[in-house]
Structure 1
Amino acid sequence: MSNEKTSQLKEVSDMAKNIWLAGLGAYGRAFDEAQERYEQASKESPRLFNELVEKGRKLETQARTAIDDVTAKSKGTATSIEERINKVRANLGLGGVSVEDFERLEKKVDALTKKLNAMSAAPKKAPAKRAASSKTTAAE
Structure 2
Amino acid sequence: MSKDSKKSLQDLKEVTNQASELAKSIWLAGLGAYGRAYDEAQDRYEKASKETPRLFTDLVDKGTRLETQAREKLGEVTSIGKTVSIEERISKMRSSLGFGHTASADDMQRLEKKLDALSKKVDALTKASKPAAAKAPATKATAAKTAAPKAKAPRKAPAKKAAAKAE
1:74 aligns with 2:81: yes
Question: Residues 88-121 of structure 1: CA distance to partner in whole angstroms, max 9, x if unpaired?
Answer: 69xx558xxxxxxxxxxxxxxxxxxxxxxxxxxx
Normalization by structure 2: what TM-score?
0.48
State the secondary structure of the residue aligned to 2:83.
Answer: helix
Cα 1:80–1:58 change in 2 (3 A) is farther
| Separation in structure 2 between the aligned mates of residue 2 and residue 27 of structure 1, nearest angstrom | 37
Identity of aligned residues (%): 47
Question: Residues 44-93 of structure 1: CA distance to partner in whole angstroms, max 9, x if unpaired?
Answer: 0000000000000001111111111111112224569539739x69xx55
Gapped runs of 5+ residues in structure 2? 1-7, 104-167
Where relative contact order (Cα < 8 A, 6+ residues apart) is larger, the structure is 1
1:16 aligns with 2:26: no
- Give 1:42's aligned residue: 49
Aligned length: 93
- Give 1:28's aligned residue: 35
State the secondary structure of the residue aligned to 1:52.
Answer: helix
Larger Rg: 2
Q: How does 1:116-127 map to 2 (within 5 A)?
A: none
| Separation in structure 2 between the aligned mates of residue 30 and residue 81 of structure 1, nearest angstrom | 72
Normalization by structure 1: what TM-score?
0.57
Gapped runs of 5+ residues in structure 1? 95-140
The answer to which of 65-74 and 37-46 deviates more is: 65-74
